[in-house]
Structure 1
Amino acid sequence: MAIRDIITVPNPLLKQISKPVDKVDDALRALMDDMLETMYDAPGIGLAAIQIGEPVRVIVMDLQEKPEGADEDAEGIKNPRYFVNPEIIWKSDDTLPYEEGCLSVPEIYDEVQRPAHVKIRYLNYQGEQVEEDAHGLYAVCIQHEMDHLEGVLFIDHLSKLKRDRAVTKVKKLTRVA
């Protein structure tokens, strides 16, 4: 496993539509392992392959939960998830506002409205097809990451003014680093 560089706005790769994966094999699992290690290192809760420059329809996610009664700095219980060729097959009419951030748009956070409940279909780490319901943070995160596969960033859901300010701020941050 290796930690990869995460690309940031305004890199044009982030606007590219990712291609479907033909099969889940050892090479793809190695990519997913690298993605997971990269996401944990960042740290984040989700990462699409395009964010490390790989334009394929692959997402990793881990919505870690801290053990009950643990202090704020405690390590969460890891629960890595892998999504190959994910698709939303149903979404609710009710929405959930959630303050989102993104590893490709560092230090920018803003509220986005998304369907509160979705039903998704994808291939897992072993290549098996899975269908499941996603609610709350899980629904928000999977939709956020699936947007990346279509070349959409969370800031694209904001006003042009907020989006332009976010890109300018990230450009300044990356020049300084």
Structure 2
Amino acid sequence: MITMKDIIREGHPTLRKMAEDVSLPPSADDKEILRSLLEYVVNSQDPEIASKYGLRPGVGLAAPQINVAKKMLAINVIDDKGTLYSHALFNPKIISHSVEKAYLTSGEGCLSVDRHVPGFVPRYARVTIKAWNLDGEEVKLRLKGFPAIVIQHEIDHLNGVMFYDHINEENPFQPIPGALAIER
């Protein structure tokens, strides 16, 4: 089981590396790593389990965050309509996206970042993702709003990008023209 001590923090070189593709079909080891990423985000959202194991709540986790430079991520997030998006993915890739942008009014956080970084993080409002699931089957996901923001944050980790790289340094809260403001 992944705990907070397994999650590397900003400044660690793996967080700035391009992750490598996972060979398909995935190995038993890769499947186990991916399962554990999903297990962490699910468990971290359960107050009892999170308290017992000292887990910081999260909605997504990427393999580079546990010092594995491979393209694997997990999300467990509920959209504004109450729909659960719980996915463990190998080699996820954005294959199309909206022109419209979106951002979280409260800003973004990250399990690898122990400080609050204020500012708006512009993301695509809608994305289509192609990836492979734990069974090695190809999947296509169409996400919008909060789930779309979460998966883009995690895909950034696979490309060595941190959320604060997107924040306007001169004016962190500069309005993003025509963007969808998402309250969380």
TMscore range, shorter length: 0.7 to 0.9
State whether residues 122 and 167 of structure 2, in contact with CA within 8 Å, keep that contact through their aligned partners in structure 1: no
1:14 maps to 15
1:153 to 2:162 alignment: yes
When the two structures are superposed, what TM-score results if normalisation uses the length of structure 1?
A: 0.77
Equivalence for 2:30: 28
Whole-angstrom distance in 1 between the partners of 2:77 and 2:57: 12
- Structure 1 segments of 4+ aligned residues over 4 angstroms from their partners: 160-163
Tell me the SS of whatever aligns to 1:56. coil
Distance in 2, matches of 1:154 and 1:18, equals: 16
Matched length: 154
Identity %: 33
CA 1:97–1:64: 2 relative to 1, 3 Å: closer
**Cα RMSD between the aligned structures?**
2.4
Task: Give 1:131-142 correspondences, 5 Å limit.
Answer: 131-142=140-151
Give the counterpart of 1:80 among 73, 86, 90: 86
> C-alpha displacement at 1:111, in angstroms?
1.8
Query: Which residue of the partner structure matches residue 137 of structure 2?
Result: 128
Comparing 77-86 with 93-102, greater Cα deviation is found at 77-86
- Whether the 8 Å CA contact 2:102–2:123 is kept in 1: the answer is yes
Q: Equivalents in 2 of 1:64, 1:93: separation in Å?
A: 23
Q: Is the 8 A contact 1:88 1:121 kept in 2?
A: yes
Shift of 1:149: 0.4
Tell me by how many angstroms 1:83 deviates. 1.1
Other-structure match for 2:95: 89
Name the CA shift for 1:122/1:42 in 2 (closer, same or farther; >3 Å): same
Query: Kindly tell me: are residues 161 and 50 of structure 1, through their superposed partners in 2, closer, same or farther at Cα, counting changes over 3 Å?
Result: farther
2:122 paired residue among 74, 93, 113: 113
Per-residue deviation, 1:158: 1.8
What is the TM-score of this pair, normalised by structure 2? 0.75
Q: Cα deviations across residues 72-128 of structure 1 (Å, max 9, x unaligned)?
A: xxxxx9863111100011010001121211111124243211110011100011110
After TM superposition, give the deviation of residue 12 of structure 1 in Å.
Answer: 1.6
How far residue 2 of structure 1 moved from its aligned partner, in angstroms, is 4.3
The 2-side partners of 1:113 and 1:79 are apart by 21
Q: Which runs of 5+ in 2 are unaligned?
A: 45-54, 173-184
Q: Tell me the distance in 2 between the aligned counterparts of 1:50 and 1:90.
A: 24
Structure 1: how far apart are the matches of 2:9 and 2:40? 14
* 2: CA distance, partners of 1:84 / 1:34: 13
